[in-house]
Structures are given as C-alpha cells and as structure tokens.
Amino acid sequence: MELGAGVYSTPILHWLCSETKRTLITYESDQEFISFAKEFESEFHTVKHISSYIDISNTDNYGMIFIDHAGRTRGYTAIHFKNSADYVIIHDSNVIRKNKYQLAFPEFKYRKDFTRYEPWTTVLSNIKELDNLW
C-alpha cells in the first residue's frame, strides 16, 4: 500500500508490483496527484481518493506500507498502521517534528534508518527484525 502518490514512488512501486503480480493500492488526498497516479492504474494497481489516511481500515495485513503523504500527520498514520504490515516505510524521516515521527518511533519494536542520502527513509516493524535489510 502506498499512502501518498509521488512522481518517484508511484511509478517504482507500480512496476515492482506489476512484475511480481502483487496488488498495490495507492491512496491520495490531493486531486492533482490522483490524476497523476490514475495513469498507473492496472489489473494489479488501484488508486483511491481519501480525505484522511487514518480513515483507511487497519485490519488488513500488507507486506509493506509506504508513507509519504502530504500534511503533518505521517506519524499518526504510521501509528494507525503499526500492526497492519510486515514493514512500514516512512519517507523524509529526518524531518521528525514536522511529520510527527517522534510519536511513531516508540510504537514499533524494530527500526532501521537509511541515512546515506537525504531525505532519509526509515523502515519500521512490529513483526520482522530489520538487522539484515542492508
């Protein structure tokens, strides 16, 4: 699941999932990005408009949830989905206060930061150990 369409993330996730016939759902709140993301809709990729990311059900299980939506609520979104995926990946994780990530980090058992390039990306999980990711 992708929360917040992006000019880089949506095409990459689309093609990775298409190659392996994995289902991808992209949720987006901005109509302009909805139009962009709809160009990638396919048999395996659905794009849905949403007004609030925490209104999405958190009872399903996902292999991965990628959080990169607009607004200052990404930390709350990560908490909402903390037990819904093997991996919760948060983008711009070096922008902690703006995105409210400081609220989310303690909610996860495992955390691994990719800091080689900015913006940082962090993988979180309550299910999978992350020591061997890279």
Only one residue has tokens 């048999």, namely 43
CATH number at residue 74: 3.40.50.150
For residue 48, the enclosing domain spans: 2-125
Query: Does 121 map to a domain?
Result: yes
Q: What is the domain count for the chain? A: 1
Identify the pLDDT of residue 114. 97
DSSP conformation letters of the chain: -EES--TTHHHHHHHHHHHHT--EEEEES-HHHHHHHHTT--SSEEEEE-S-GGGS---S-EEEEEE--SSS-HHHHHHHTTTSEEEEEEESTT-HHHHTHHHHGGG-SEEEEE-SSSSPEEEEESSS--TT--
17-72 pLDDT, tens digit per residue, is 999 999 999 999 999 999 999 999 999 999 999 999 999 999 999 999 999 999 99
Query: Does 46 map to a domain?
Result: yes
| Total-model pTM | 0.96
Identify the pLDDT of residue 77. 98
